[in-house]
Amino acid sequence: MVKSIILAAGKGTRMKSDTPKVLHTIFDKTLVGYVIEAVNKTGLADENFVIVGHQAEKVEDYITKTYENAKCVLQSPQLGTGHAVSMALPYLNDFDGEVIILCGDTPLVTEDTLKSFIESHRNAGSYLTVMSAIFDNPTNYGRIIRNTDGSLNSIVEEKDANAEQKAVKEVNAGIYCLNWAKIKDAFGQLKSNNAQGEYYLTDIVKWANEQNLKVDAYTLKNNEEIFGINSKTHLAEATKMLNRRVVQKHLDNGVTIVDPETVWISPETEIEPDTVIYPSCYITGKNKIGKNCKIGPFAHLRGDVVLEDNVKIGNFVEVKKTTIKSNTNACHLSYLGDSEIGSGVNIGAGTITANYNPLTKVKSKTIIENEVKVGSNSVLVAPVKIEESANVAALSVVTKDIPSWSLALTRAPLKILENWVKRFKK
């Protein structure tokens, strides 16, 4: 099995944030989370080492809580990317497989690319493979220097490059695959006599060449995948790129998306064909949407939402942690959270599931069985169950279970109005 080393010790000054850079999120998932999951989804790797430094505790706390097969390793102080990788040496003493090295701030890398990268490394019989990319504007990247026969010679950092090297448009994408047992010796021999005074990971290419260990470069097809995040502008751009990718996938699968420019769909949302998503919807987290549903315009699905076929979620409806069976409508102005809703249900305009008790801080469940009709502007105070085919009259505040086929009518009592009148009279 492959192991990964994910570099995430850098400061991320340009984010101007109290949150460590790699814990910033896109669709509620952290940047480093995307990288770990891409590695895990290749099915080729079994363990991830995340190198942490700045705000190490916060990052470590998150990683260990979230990913079973990820371990954090502290790098302090941060003396460069080569130094960062060397922090993992004690954990990989006897390891004899491949290690892939990635950055924690490039969330758009895909499992398909990583798989084909590792396969290419294996097929070439290479000891060290570097991912490269061709950029019209290669500024700031390390340049890939090739020999006259096209083989990989070395990587030269922008700050160390001469004019001829700077003109090279093939750059180091920052992802590496190495046969650990052979290449790990390089880390004890890196020097920091360069423009930045750092121990460069990139120097392992030259080292491997000197040892006559075969090195290779793999050229990335889609440059978006190594888009690195250093600022809030980058974060917004990456979110847009990822969204475009997801929207395109759904369009290709037969989902109608009226305006791809204003619809946001998280990568973990499944949607079946012939569902229509109207403009200005925000769909985040993990969701499953069936066939022939209609979502939006202006709907907000916040995650853990399951919609069966023919469900309508209309304008200004927010849904969270809720399962809705087929042929149910919630067409206008509702909040449905922590709920189980049956089929053939009508949720009237303005219906709210009051799922949160701010005094006890407890969230409770609302159960609405098949064929229930909930009248407009009703508040369903959880925990509560409305049994099959019951009717809730408009403006009801439902605080106890409603038996099936009954009519619930608990409108705001007139007393309140009388009290108001008394107050005005004083």
- Choose which of 37, 157, 170, 272 interacts with ligand UD1 (CB under 6 A): 157
The set of residues, in sequence order, having a beta carbon less than 8 Å from that of 215 and lying 6+ positions away, is 126, 127, 128, 129, 130, 151, 152, 205, 208, 209
Q: Which of 117, 187, 200, 207 binds ligand UD1 (CB under 6 A)?
A: 200
Please, which of residues 24-53 interact with ligand UD1 by CB under 6 A? 51, 53
Residue type, 196: Q
Handedness of CA 27, 29, 32, 38 (dihedral sign): negative
Catalytic residue among 54, 83, 234, 332: 332
Instruction: Name which of 221 and 400 has its Cβ closer to ligand UD1.
Output: 221
| C-alpha pair distances (Å), 50 with each of 32, 71, 414 | 9, 6, 62
> Cβ 322 to ligand UD1, closest distance in Å?
38
83 forms part of the interface with ligand UD1 (CB under 6 A): yes
Binding to ligand UD1 in span 160-199, by CB under 6 A:
171-172, 174
80 binds ligand UD1 (CB under 6 A): yes
Euclidean distance between CA atoms 378 and 79, whole angstroms: 61
Cβ proximity to ligand UD1: between 53 and 375 the closer is: 53
d(CA 419, CA 12): 58
Residue 94 φ/ψ region, left for φ over 0, alpha for ψ in the -120 to 50 degree band, beta for the rest: alpha
- Span of 97-105, 324-332, 368-376, 377-385 interacting with ligand UD1 by CB under 6 A: 97-105
Residue 87 or 257 with smaller CB distance to ligand UD1:
87
Nearest approach, Cβ of residue 228 and ligand UD1 (Å): 5
Residue linked to tokens 């751009």: 237
For residue 202, the minimal CB distance to ligand UD1 (Å) is 5
Minimum Å gap between C-beta 169 and ligand UD1 is 12
Q: Is 105 in the site for ligand UD1 (CB under 6 A)?
A: yes
Q: Which stretch binds ligand UD1 (CB under 6 A): 90-98, 102-110, 120-128, 335-343?
A: 102-110
Is residue 220 part of the contact set for ligand UD1 (CB under 6 A)? Answer: no
Contact 251, 268 (CB under 8 A): no
Residues 141/172, Cβ–Cβ less than 8 Å: yes
121 tagged catalytic: no
Residue among 202, 200, 134 nearest 168 (CA) = 134
**CB distance 217 to 132 below 8 Å:** yes
Least distance (Å) between residue 263 CB and ligand UD1: 31
Please report whether residue 331 would count as binding ligand UD1 according to CB under 6 A. no
Q: How far apart are the first and last CA of the chain?
A: 80
User: Residue 312 interacts with ligand UD1 (CB under 6 A)?
Assistant: no
Q: Characterize the bridge pairing of strands 25-26 and 29-30.
A: antiparallel
- Residue 318 in contact with ligand UD1, rule: CB under 6 A: no
Q: Does 141 bind ligand UD1 (CB under 6 A)?
A: yes
Min CB(184)–ligand UD1 separation in Å: 17
Size (the chain), residues: 426
CA distance 216 to 207: 13
Residues that bind ligand UD1 in the complex, under the rule CB under 6 A: 7-10, 51, 53, 75, 78-81, 83-84, 103-105, 141-142, 155, 157, 171-172, 174, 200-202, 228
Catalytic residues: 332
